[in-house]
Amino acid sequence: MNQVIQPFDSAKFNFTKVNPEEVIFAFEEAQNDSEKYFDNVPHAVAYSPSAILINVSPIGYCHVLLIPRIQDCLSQRVDKESFLLAMYVAREARNPFFRVGYNSLGGFATINHLHFQAYYLKVQLQYPVEKAPMEKLTTVGNGVSIIQLVDYPVSGFVFEGGACLEDLSDVVSKVCIFMQENNRPFNVLISESGKRVSLLPQVLH
């Protein structure tokens, strides 16, 4: 693996090839902010819905996969819209123990089809990165704080604040896009119902 950004290859495994029983539900944005539920709706009704899939190799309770616009066959790279979708999922779970994660290619992602991981972490249990000492670096114009991990085995950053979820998402997605374009792999962890995002740069091997 020597490139963080790679073209989608339909000949390789991707999430359009999963067993239909692995699809928990699919969803798309409504035109008028209304909420409707349809049971057993054919995929053709939504041209390319986002989907929540069962993770057949779970690492935790309720471990699922979030696939933005599944039929568009997007490669594993963050864009502004997909990251905001992941942030919304973290918020709408309405549970402080729910986490959403992302691994880039070169950062432990094994499938080049855009996806996020999501699962519940046990009550009162946190990842070490969530308890690491931190030092604030700066606050950007929209009120988002950029914080650096200190005295920690690996380098990393935490993003918090902003006037709204979209502010925080916009800052983090721009950093992710910058890293992708500079061929730097990374991992992301969205926690606290979308109020906090940890980003860990990695090194290509």
Whether the per-residue pLDDT at 46 is higher than 50: the answer is: no
**pTM of structure:** 0.92
Kindly tell me the sign of the dihedral angle through the C-alpha atoms of 34, 35, 40, 44. positive
Beta carbons of 103 and 179 less than 8 angstroms apart: no
Quick check: 194 and 98 in contact, CB under 8 A? Answer: no
The answer, yes or no, to whether residue 43 has pLDDT greater than 90, is no
| CATH code assigned to 15-120 | 3.30.428
Tens-place pLDDT, residues 64-89: 999 999 999 999 999 999 999 999 99
Report pLDDT for 138: 98
125: left (phi over 0), alpha (psi -120 to 50) or beta: beta
Catalytic position from the list 43, 113, 115, 205? 115
Is 43 noted as a catalytic residue in this protein? Answer: no
Cβ proximity of 118 and 99 under 8 Å = yes
Map tokens 């709204």 to a residue: 164
Reported confidence tier of residue 44, pLDDT bands at 50, 70, 90: very low
